[in-house]
Each structure stands twice: as structure tokens, then as C-alpha cells.
């Protein structure tokens, strides 16, 4: 049994990026039917309401100052500079607009948005052992804060503006009509009913791929990425989708700033030696140092929290005033921290894979390479190339909400404009039938492999720092070979209900993303920014280039493209 629905603009994913796209599409053209399809329940779903709730703003800096600093110290000129400047120029207004939609941005007694400065970076150790800071480093950004029920408030705002919502329907594939987008096929996650939604334009805002390793990142399972790949969308910067947090294996909570107070088991500080002159946040080199020390038998590594110089700045960001202004976030964090610390007994830290793999290629209008298909939020953070050679959140915390809001605000009007000028597309039965057969295969299978069993095997390939961060051709090749072996097991997946049928669809997406990640990593034969290769320790003499990933007759194919620096305002 299928249910058919039509919309002008269809948004997939009802978290921050999807809501921002939906509201701005509707505002751009109120006559359009703007519908959000969310796999769980919009307002509660997604990652945007389960984090620290800090949001990047420019403060007093100009977009040009931000961009120049960013290119030099973080993006390494691997950026689309037009996208970077557009992102920077919308950072301050993001916060104003989030406040208009939710009323939940923290303000001071005069009603001005309350911001705090990011701490200066420690550069070395004084003779008495204390840390020396580079006080002259003025980071060209500040951080605002928001209470974590803001997404629920924005959901209410969107409904009042006339945006329609279909909750508990997960998209599994995109439909095309003569090369352009025609809609989506999804399934009700509770009763398995097929839902066919035709639309003139579609915005993918359903998050990235995090391989379910870090608990809070668990909803990001890459179904939007695999669906876009299947209809031939282009990807870029896939090799940057491997963020790691410092975590404790006893509670998996992030330990920010651990690299400043990181000791091997011999009592040597091994973090500081990797800290560079300008150090805005966690760098890949300190994670690589953890790997080298571990391989040399100097582990486990310890985080001496009392020596962590970032703590005062983190605490000031979350002082009593901010806590009072954020009652929901305070309840959330108090509960999490109580649980986490009541089960913690030691100071060992390890790099825990977060991932944040979101390489769906988009231009400055948030258009993908498929006509009528747009994207916003985590799914296209690397794909927008605004950030360059860095993993998300890319050494500028508070950037996830900022990018989600910015890209949603761009994608919404772009998708509305496209829809207003487009004919009603045709949903082709043969596509719908093929999608149905693919999605339901595990329900009809005589295999015996449960999706979670395969997830565990994929995680064993993705988590190791030697595979996904401090890379080497040999290790990359064996990781890729293992992923190919696991792909061969897909037909054995077995499901008994819609929950596990989705589990199987997610596993297929995880394997595809892994393959894209390792193939792109093999193609980048250099070390640059977040991307490290043990066997290619220097930046490439060929200059900045992007690794493009495309679907060639169903296969993941990679190629290189030079960054067109001559078209951009800033040169290395």
C-alpha cells in the first residue's frame, strides 16, 4: 500500500537546517506548499538540540578579517572563498533570526546578545611549568549561546507560518524525472507504509554520516548521502569527514582541551609539543601524537584535567548567568554529567571517532549538481567547501548551528525560486518499484545477519586513528578491502520490521560513505590541515586541489580538481 502526496518544496529532515530552509522558503513565496519530512519528530529530532548550544558569531570582526584568518590558519586555501565570505557575512544575522524564530538566544540585561571570546591559544610552557599563552592572538569570532529547547520553538514558528510536517517518515531514495528532481520515496518508520512524495524541488537537510560511534552523534547515518549518490550527485572533500573528540572510554563524553594537558604513561606531556603558534581548537597533530605514543607502547594516555587551560574559558561561557538563562540546557547537562561522572574512575583519554562526513557538493546557492536538488546543514558542510581543509566543527566551535542556519537560509529561497519556475514533475513507477524492492529486500531475505552486527564490523574499520586520521596508503588499502568484504554481506541482512529495514538501509549508507572516505583519502597524497598522511607528510607541490567523488555506473570514482585561486580574492 502506498500513499501519494505532492509539494512544491520538499525538505528532508526537520532539525535546524531543515527548519531554516522551510521557514525561509515559505517566507520567500507564501503561495508555495512547503513540506518537511522528518524520520522521527521534528523539534526533538536531530543533533541541534543535544549539544553545548554555542553559536559562532563575528562579534566586532568583519567578514573579510574572519575569512583571511580562516584561510591562513584553518582552511589552508582549500576553500570556495565566495562561500566562505557569504557564510561569514551571515554569522551575526543568524543569531538575530534564531532569536526571532525561538526567543531562546541568551541576552544581557540590556537585551543585547551575550557573547564570549574564545580563549587565546597556549603556545609553550614556561620554566616553572605553567603554560604560556599567545595573548596577541585575537580570534576573529565570538560565541553566543542558546537554550536547547530552541529547535522545538522554531518548529512551532514554522507551523504557524504554514509549513506542513510529515513526521515519522524516513526518506530512503530520491526520484528523478528526465534528469531533474521529482520527489522522494520514504517509509513510515512505525508501520512501514510506503510514502511517495513528489515535489518540484527538494532540500536535503537530513544530516551527515557519523557511523554511530559517538553516542550523541548516533542519528547521523548517511541515508541522504547515499540517496544523493544513487541519483548521480557529485561529492567533494569526503576525506575530511573524520573528526575525533577526546573522550573517556568510561562515559564517551567529550573532554575539550585535553591536548593541552595530555600525558603518556611515563608522565611526559605529549600534547603541548603539537600545539602550533595559532591554536584555536583541537588539531589533528595531537591526535596523531596519541597514535604514535600508543604504537610505541607508551599508553595509556592521561588527561590531567586540573592542568587544562581551556577550563576557565569553558566555564565562563557557561557561567551562572548563562545557566539561569538556559533552564532546559542546564537540566540536560546536569543529568548527562551526573551520569557520566558517577561512572568515571580514571583519567585515560582516547580519540573517539565523531566523523561528521558531509561531502555533498553544493554551489553558493546550495544547489547540488542534480537540477532541483538543494542541500543544507551537516550533509553538505565539506561539500560547500566554505571551510576548506578541516573536519567539522573544524577548529571553530559553534559552527554546526551557524552553518545549518546559514545554509538553510540560502537553500530555502533557492529551492522556492526553482519550484516557482518549474513544471510539475512525473514520479516514474519503475523507479518506485525498484526502490521498494531494494528497501524491502531484508524483510524478504532468508539471511540471518542483523544490521547491528554489521554496524559493529564497520565501526572497527572506521574508528582506528591509523585508518581515519593519521593515514597511510597501506592501512587505507586494507581498510578499503575490509569495507568491500563487508559490502558483500549486504544481501544477508535480515529484518523483521520497519525499524530493522531502516537499519539495513543505514548500514548500506555507512558502507558507501566508508568507501567514499577511503577512496578520497587515497587520492589526497599529502598532509594539509586536518588531513594527515604518515607516508606523505608535506603539502602537495601541485598546490591546493579538491578530490571529487562521483557515481560512475554505480561505482565510486575519484578525481582531482585544482582550486581556482585566481578567481578568488585571497592568495596563499
Binding residues for other proteins, rule: CB under 8 A, are: 40-41, 43-47, 49-50, 167, 189-190, 212-213, 215-216, 218-219, 249-252, 291, 294-295, 328, 331-332, 335-336, 339-340, 343, 350-352, 452, 455-456, 459-461, 463-466, 499, 502
- Contact partner at residue 171 from other proteins, ligand FAD, none, CB < 5 to 8 Å by partner kind: ligand FAD
- For 440-445, which contacts have Cβ atoms below 8 Å and span 24 or more sequence positions? 440/501, 441/491, 441/493, 441/504, 442/493, 442/494, 442/495, 442/500, 442/501, 442/504, 443/495, 443/496, 443/501, 445/491, 445/492, 445/493, 445/494, 445/495
Cell 524492492 belongs to which residue? 437
Among 123, 133, 140, 152, smallest CA distance to 48 is for 152
Q: Looking at the DSSP assignment, which residues form a beta bridge with residue 181?
A: 176
Tell the smallest beta-carbon distance from residue 540 to ligand FAD (Å): 29
Tell the smallest beta-carbon distance from residue 62 to ligand FAD (Å): 21
Q: Cell triple for residue 566?
A: 585566481
- Contact partner at residue 351 from other proteins, ligand FAD, none, CB < 5 to 8 Å by partner kind: other proteins
CA angle, 431 as apex, 426 and 437 as ends, to 5°?
Answer: 145
DSSP-derived secondary structure for 167-184: ESEEEEEEEEETTEEEEE
Tell the smallest beta-carbon distance from residue 489 to other proteins (Å): 17
Q: How far apart are alpha carbons 532 and 351 in whole angstroms?
A: 15
Q: What are phi and psi of 355, to 5 degrees?
A: 95, -95
In the complex with other proteins, the residue whose CB is nearer, 333 or 568, is 333
Among 6, 449, 9, smallest CA distance to 203 is for 9
C-alpha distances out from residue 43 to 48, 243, 551, Å: 9, 26, 34
Among 451, 435, 450, smallest CA distance to 503 is for 451
Q: How far apart are alpha carbons 416 and 19 in whole angstroms?
A: 14
Tell the smallest beta-carbon distance from residue 256 to ligand FAD (Å): 11
The verdict on 399 binding ligand FAD (CB under 6 A) reads yes
Tell the smallest beta-carbon distance from residue 451 to ligand FAD (Å): 15
Tell which positions 336-365 bind ligand FAD, by CB under 6 A. none
In the complex with other proteins, the residue whose CB is nearer, 328 or 568, is 328
β 243-247/235-236 pair status: unpaired
Tell which positions 17-56 bind ligand FAD, by CB under 6 A. 17-18, 37-40, 45-48, 50-55
- Contact partner at residue 218 from other proteins, ligand FAD, none, CB < 5 to 8 Å by partner kind: other proteins
In the complex with other proteins, the residue whose CB is nearer, 41 or 130, is 41
Q: Kindly indicate which of the ranges 9-17, 120-128, 133-141, 159-167 contains the residues binding ligand FAD, using the contact rule CB under 6 A.
A: 9-17
Tell which positions 220-249 bind ligand FAD, by CB under 6 A. 220, 223
CA angle, 350 as apex, 260 and 476 as ends, to 5°?
Answer: 110
Tell the smallest beta-carbon distance from residue 38 to ligand FAD (Å): 5
β 2-12/142-145 pair status: unpaired
Q: Which of 7, 9, 12, 479 binds ligand FAD (CB under 6 A)?
A: 12
- Contact partner at residue 570 from other proteins, ligand FAD, none, CB < 5 to 8 Å by partner kind: none
The verdict on 171 binding ligand FAD (CB under 6 A) reads yes
Q: Is 206 helix (H, G, I), strand (E, B) or coil?
A: coil
Write the secondary structure of 46-111 as one string of H (helix), E (strand) and C (coil): CCCCCCCCEEEECCCCCHHHHHHHHHHHHHCCCCCHHHHHHHHHCHHHHHHHHHHHHCCECECCCC
Q: Cell triple for residue 137?
A: 592572538
The half-sphere exposure of 472 on its side-chain side, counting CA atoms within 13 A, is 9
Tell the smallest beta-carbon distance from residue 407 to ligand FAD (Å): 8
- Contact partner at residue 399 from other proteins, ligand FAD, none, CB < 5 to 8 Å by partner kind: ligand FAD
In the complex with ligand FAD, the residue whose CB is nearer, 399 or 514, is 399
In the complex with ligand FAD, the residue whose CB is nearer, 47 or 519, is 47
In the complex with ligand FAD, the residue whose CB is nearer, 188 or 523, is 188
Tell the smallest beta-carbon distance from residue 353 to other proteins (Å): 9
In the complex with ligand FAD, the residue whose CB is nearer, 7 or 401, is 401
Q: Is 476 helix (H, G, I), strand (E, B) or coil?
A: helix
- Contact partner at residue 190 from other proteins, ligand FAD, none, CB < 5 to 8 Å by partner kind: other proteins
**By CB under 6 A, how many residues form the interface with ligand FAD?**
39
Q: What is the dihedral of CA 285, 291, 296, 301, to 10 degrees?
A: 100
Q: Kindly indicate which of the ranges 83-91, 100-108, 199-207, 516-524 contains the residues binding ligand FAD, using the contact rule CB under 6 A.
A: 199-207
Tell the smallest beta-carbon distance from residue 43 to other proteins (Å): 8
Contact 393, 214 (CB under 8 A): no
Tell the smallest beta-carbon distance from residue 136 to ligand FAD (Å): 27
Among 120, 174, 534, smallest CA distance to 369 is for 174
In the complex with other proteins, the residue whose CB is nearer, 294 or 392, is 294
Using only the alpha carbons of the chain, give its radius of gyration: 23
In the complex with ligand FAD, the residue whose CB is nearer, 13 or 498, is 13
Positions that interact with ligand FAD (CB under 6 A): 12-18, 37-40, 45-48, 50-55, 170-171, 205-207, 216-217, 219-220, 223, 377-378, 398-402, 404
Amino acid at each position: 500500500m502506498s500513499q501519494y502526496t505532492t509539494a512544491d518544496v520538499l525538505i528532508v529532515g526537520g532539525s535546524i537546517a531543515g527548519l531554516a530552509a522551510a521557514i525561509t522558503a515559505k517566507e520567500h513565496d507564501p503561495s508555495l506548499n512547503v513540506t518537511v519530512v522528518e524520520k522521527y519528530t521534528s523539534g526533538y529530532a536531530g543533533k541541534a538540540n543535544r549539544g553545548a548550544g554555542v553559536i559562532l558569531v563575528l562579534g566586532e570582526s568583519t567578514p573579510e578579517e574572519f575569512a583571511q584568518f580562516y584561510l591562513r590558519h584553518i582552511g589552508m586555501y582549500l576553500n570556495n572563498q565566495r562561500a566562505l565570505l557569504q557564510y561569514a557575512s551571515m554569522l551575526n544575522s543568524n543569531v538575530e533570526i534564531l532569536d526571532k524564530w525561538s526567543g531562546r538566544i541568551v541576552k544581557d540585561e540590556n537585551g543585547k546578545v551575550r557573547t564570549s571570546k574564545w580563549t587565546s591559544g597556549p603556545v609553550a610552557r614556561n620554566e616553572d611549568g605553567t603554560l604560556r599563552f599567545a595573548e596577541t592572538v585575537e580570534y576573529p569570532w565570538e560565541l553566543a549561546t542558546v537554550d536547547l529547547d530552541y529547535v522545538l520553538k522554531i518548529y512551532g514558528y514554522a507551523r504557524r507560518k504554514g509549513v506542513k510536517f510529515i513526521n515519522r517518515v524516513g526518506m530512503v531514495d530520491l526520484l528523478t524525472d528526465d534528469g531533474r528532481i521529482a520527489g522522494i520515496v520514504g517509509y513510515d518508520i512505525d508501520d512501514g507504509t510506503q510514502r511517495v512524495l513528489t515535489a518540484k524541488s527538494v532540500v536535503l537537510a537530513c544530516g551527515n554520516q557519523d557511523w554511530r560511534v559517538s553516542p550523541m552523534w548516533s542519528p547521523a547515518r548517511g541515508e541522504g548521502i547515499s540517496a544523493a549518490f544513487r541519483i548521480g550527485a557529485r561529492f567533494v572533500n569526503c576525506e575530511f569527514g573524520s573528526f575525533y573528540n577526546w573522550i573517556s572510554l568510561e562515559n564517551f563524553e567529550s573532554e575539550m582541551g585535553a591536548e593541552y594537558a595530555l600525558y603518556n604513561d611515563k608522565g611526559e606531556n605529549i600534547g603541548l609539543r603539537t600545539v602550533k603558534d595559532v591554536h584555536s581548537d583541537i588539531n589533528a597533530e595531537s591526535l596523531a601524537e596519541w597514535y604514535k605514543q600508543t604504537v610505541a607502547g607508551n599508553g595509556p594516555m592521561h588527561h590531567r584535567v586540573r592542568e587544562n587551560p581551556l577550563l576557565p574559558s569553558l566555564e565562563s561561557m557557561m557561567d551562572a548567568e548563562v545557566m539561569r538563562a538556559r533552564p532546559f540546557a542546564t537540566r540536560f547537562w546536569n543529568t548527562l554529567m551526573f551520569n557520566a561522572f558517577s561512572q568515571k574512575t580514571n583519567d585515560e583519554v582516547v580519540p573517539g571517532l565523531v566523523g561528521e562526513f558531509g561531502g555533498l557538493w553544493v554551489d553558493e546557492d546550495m544547489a547540488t549538481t542534480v537540477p532541483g536538488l538543494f542541500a543544507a546543514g551537516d550533509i553538505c558542510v565539506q561539500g560547500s567547501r566554505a571551510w576548506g581543509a578541516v573536519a567539522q566543527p573544524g577548529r571553530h566551535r559553534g559552527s554546526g548551528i551557524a552553518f545549518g542556519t546559514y545554509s538553510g537560509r540560502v537553500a530555502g529561497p533557492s529551492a522556492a525560486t526553482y519550484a516557482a519556475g518549474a513544471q510539475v514533475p512525473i514520479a516514474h513507477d519503475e523507479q518506485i518499484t525498484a526502490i521498494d524492492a531494494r528497501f524491502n529486500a531484508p524483510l524478504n531475505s532468508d539471511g540471518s545477519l542483523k544490521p547491528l552486527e554489521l554496524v559493529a564490523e564497520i565501526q572497527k574499520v572506521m574508528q582506528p586513528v591509523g585508518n581515519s586520521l593519521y593515514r597511510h596508503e597501506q592501512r587505507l588499502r586494507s581498510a578499503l578491502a575490509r569495507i568491500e568484504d563487508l559490502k558483500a554481506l549486504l544481501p544477508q541482512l535480515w529484518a523483521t520490521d520497519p525499524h530493522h529495514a531502516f537499519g539495513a538501509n543505514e548500514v548500506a549508507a555507512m558502507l558507501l560513505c566508508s568507501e567514499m572516505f577511503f577512496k578520497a583519502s587515497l587520492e589526497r597524497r599529502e598532509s594539509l590541515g586536518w588531513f594527515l598522511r604518515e607516508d606523505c607528510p608535506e603539502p602537495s607541490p601541485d598546490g591546493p586541489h579538491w578530490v571529487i567523488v562521483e557515481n560512475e555506473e554505480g561505482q565510486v570514482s575519484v578525481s582531482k580538481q585544482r582550486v581556482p585561486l585566481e578567481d578568488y580574492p585571497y592568495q596563499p
